[in-house]
C-alpha cells in the first residue's frame, strides 16, 4: 500500500525539499501551507511531475479551526504514515529588548502550534504505527547569544518530543528530532529581528550579529538541501535508533565540540562572540 506523509511549512526550504524527496520515493504527500490552494503556483513543477500523489492543504498554526480542518483532511486520506513538523520562523535579538508580544507569538507558532497539530494527528499515526519527525535546529540543543526567543521555542519543542517519544513507543510510533545547521532555506532573510532602541546596550551587538547572519547566508547560498531531504526519508522509512539527529557539517561540529569541550569553556566562547561583535561596532 502506498504510504502518505503530511509536511508542514511545505512551501520553501526544508519543507519543499521534503516534499520532493518523499514524492521521489513513491509516497503520497499532503503539503500543508498558509494560503493553501491560493499558493499552488509554488508547487508547479512538483504538481506537474506527481499530479496524483501531491495535494496542497491549508494550515495556519495560530488557528485551531485550521488545525481541525487539516485533521479531517488527513483522516480522509488515512492511513497517515508520517507527520513532519517543519513550519515555524525565527525571532532573533536580545532578551531584554524582546517584547512580550513577540515572544508569545514565537512560542505560539513554533511550540504550541507544533504540539496542537501533533496531538490532533496522533490517533491517525497510532493506527498506522507511523512516525513523528519534528524539524528543530542545532539552536534547539545549544543556545547562542541574541537568539533567545527562537532557542526557547526550539528547546521547548525538543523537550516535548523527548517526552512524546517515550509515550508513543508502546504503540509502535517512532519520534525523531532533526537538528539542521545553516542551509540556504531563506530562514536568514526572513528572520523577525527585535530591533533595539538607540539607547539599548545591545544595539552594537545586534547590528553586528545581523551582518554576521547575512554573511552566513551568503556563504551558504550554493549549499544543497538534498542531504536534509534524504535524512528525513531515511529517518521515516528506516526508523533508526536515537531521538536527535544533527544534519549539516556545522551542526555536527557543534554537537561534537559541546561534547568534548567543558560546558563552562563552551559558554565562555559564546560570551566572547558578543564581546567581539560589540568591539567591531565600536
Q: Which residues belong to the active site?
A: 150
Torsion of CA 186, 190, 194, 196, to 10 degrees: 90
Grid coordinates representing 194 are: 527585535
Q: Tally the residues of the chain.
A: 282
What's the sign of the alpha-carbon dihedral 257, 237, 43, 75? negative
DSSP of 193-214, one letter per residue? E-PPPTT-TTHHHHHHHHHHHH
Ramachandran angles phi, psi of 198, nearest 5°: -55, -25
Buried b / exposed e across 53-67, counting CB within 10 Å, b at 16+? Answer: bbbbbbbbbeeeebb
**What's the DSSP call for residue 41?**
G
Cβ burial, residue 282 (10 Å; 0-12/13-18/19+)? exposed
What residues does 32 pair with on adjacent strands? 8, 57
Handedness of CA 249, 232, 41, 44 (dihedral sign): positive
Amino acid at each position: 500500500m502506498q504510504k502518505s506523509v503530511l509536511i508542514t511549512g511545505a512551501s520553501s526550504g526544508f519543507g519543499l525539499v521534503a516534499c520532493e524527496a518523499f514524492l521521489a520515493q513513491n509516497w503520497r504527500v499532503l503539503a500543508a501551507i498558509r494560503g493553501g490552494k491560493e499558493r499552488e503556483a509554488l508547487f508547479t513543477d512538483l504538481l506537474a511531475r506527481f499530479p496524483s500523489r501531491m495535494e496542497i492543504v491549508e494550515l495556519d498554526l495560530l488557528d485551531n479551526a485550521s488545525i481541525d480542518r487539516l485533521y479531517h483532511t488527513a483522516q480522509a486520506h488515512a492511513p497517515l504514515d508520517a507527520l513532519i513538523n517543519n513550519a515555524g520562523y525565527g525571532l532573533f535579538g536580545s532578551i531584554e529588548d524582546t517584547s512580550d508580544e513577540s515572544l508569545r507569538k514565537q512560542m505560539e507558532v513554533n511550540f504550541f502550534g507544533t504540539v496542537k497539530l501533533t496531538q490532533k494527528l496522533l490517533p491517525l499515526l497510532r493506527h498506522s504505527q507511523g512516525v513523528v519527525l519534528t524539524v528543530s535546529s542545532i539552536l534547539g540543543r545549544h543556545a547562542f547569544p541574541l537568539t533567545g526567543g527562537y532557542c526557547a521555542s526550539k528547546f521547548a519543542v525538543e523537550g516535548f518530543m523527548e517526552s512524546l517519544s517515550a509515550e508513543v513507543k508502546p504503540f509502535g510510533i517512532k519520534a525523531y528530532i532533526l537538528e539542521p545547521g545553516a542551509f540556504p532555506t531563506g530562514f536568514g532573510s526572513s528572520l523577525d529581528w527585535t530591533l533595539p532602541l538607540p539607547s539599548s546596550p545591545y544595539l552594537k551587538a545586534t547590528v553586528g550579529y545581523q551582518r554576521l547572519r547575512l554573511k552566513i547566508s551568503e556563504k551558504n547560498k550554493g549549499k544543497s538541501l538534498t542531504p536534509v531531504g534524504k535524512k528525513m526519508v531515511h529517518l521515516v522509512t528506516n526508523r533508526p535508533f536515537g531521538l536527535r539527529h544533527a544534519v549539516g557539517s556545522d551542526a555536527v561540529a557543534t554537537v561534537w565540540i559541546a561534547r568534548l569541550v567543558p560546558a563552562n569553556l563552551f559558554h565562555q566562547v559564546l560570551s566572547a562572540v558578543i564581546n567581539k561583535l560589540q568591539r567591531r561596532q565600536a
